[in-house]
Homo-oligomer: A and B are copies of this chain.
């Protein structure tokens, strides 16, 4: 299996990308293709000992900035690590592409270069979120900021396939993220989506009130890209602010510092449970190829785990299950 990794994507590229890739080849049965500015990649690789034959470097001379407007960057930088990387999985038989770079650019390049799966009109990004009961799959977290109701229906189908085939959850339930549990809540768009998903999806369990997302009562949680993006950003931002506040308060009292010291291993365990980097990547679904986006702030561990999740998608043949599902719906 050959996974293409965008060596230039993310706030700490190419360092953490290369270190994550090295950890991945040491732990998993995978070959890695690093795409980006060759000299910079070689310089990073020189820091490590690894099985040389399992790492390939492909030079891509330009880099898409983290905040460049996606469409413009795609049109003007056809030789970027993102565009060229996506083309590798389209034309050269590589299995998957991962980038912690500009998400909008990855979505645009994937949509334009790979095209959509038959039956899917728009791409959507899913994330595995930790819950009190284990995990749920939240989709879309930002690929499509103005979906139509049928795009949410298609996301629901894709989420069920992903949850079942890649994450091993039988008969996954589907909930629609909303501002209340009762049918008829939310905007006109949300009411229409509720109706369409309810009519066409097996195991639809109705609206998920936003306050219940982390209780884990729904396997797949469907929403538009703005709501999903707000959901993950509010929750990561809140956890960071709450941790900062906790550290500030604890430092005010020696006794509290002692207590925190004693609790440390448990607190770290909790941190791990709520840590998004444990999954590492967010699958871009709906496009005709296996593409994973990672957070720009991804750590070495997050990159390694994104590669692990990608291997899972390739091994479980996610694309053919998606195609099969949409051919029947």
**Chain A, 195-251, CB within 8 A of any chain B CB:** 209-215, 225-227, 229-231, 233-242, 244-246, 249-250
The one of B188, B210, B215, B265 that contacts A241, using a Cβ cutoff of 8 Å: B215
Query: What residues of chain B lie closer than 8 Å to A328, measured between beta carbons?
Result: none
In the complex, the chain B residue whose C-beta lies closest to that of A103 is B180
A32 in the interface (beta carbon within 8 A) = no
A270 in the interface (beta carbon within 8 A) = yes
In the complex, the chain B residue whose C-beta lies closest to that of A241 is B214
In the complex, the chain B residue whose C-beta lies closest to that of A235 is B238
In the complex, the chain B residue whose C-beta lies closest to that of A179 is B229
A253 in the interface (beta carbon within 8 A) = yes
Contact A234–B256 (Cβ < 8 Å): no
Contact B241–A239 (Cβ < 8 Å): no
Contact B210–A234 (Cβ < 8 Å): yes
A283 in the interface (beta carbon within 8 A) = no
A42 in the interface (beta carbon within 8 A) = no
Given contact pairs A214-B241, A226-B179, A242-B274, A263 touches B266 in the complex (Cβ within 8 A): no
Instruction: Please give the number of chain A residues whose Cβ is less than 8 angstroms from any Cβ of chain B in the complex.
Output: 62
Query: What residues of chain B lie closer than 8 Å to A230, measured between beta carbons?
Result: 177, 179, 210, 227, 230-231, 234
A168 in the interface (beta carbon within 8 A) = no
Interface residues of A (CB under 8 A from B): 67, 69, 131-132, 142, 145-146, 177, 179-180, 182, 184, 186-188, 190, 209-215, 225-227, 229-231, 233-242, 244-246, 249-250, 252-253, 255-256, 258-267, 269-270, 273-274
Sample (25) of A-B pairs whose CB atoms are under 8 Å apart: A67-B180, A67-B182, A69-B184, A131-B241, A132-B241, A145-B179, A145-B186, A179-B233, A209-B233, A210-B233, A211-B240, A213-B238, A215-B241, A227-B230, A234-B234, A242-B274, A245-B270, A245-B273, A250-B266, A253-B265, A258-B262, A259-B260, A259-B262, A259-B264, A259-B266
Q: Assuming A213-B238, A249-B266, what are 17 further A-B pairs, CB within 8 angstroms? A: A67-B180, A67-B182, A131-B241, A132-B241, A142-B179, A179-B226, A211-B237, A213-B234, A214-B238, A214-B240, A214-B242, A230-B230, A234-B235, A235-B235, A242-B274, A255-B262, A259-B264
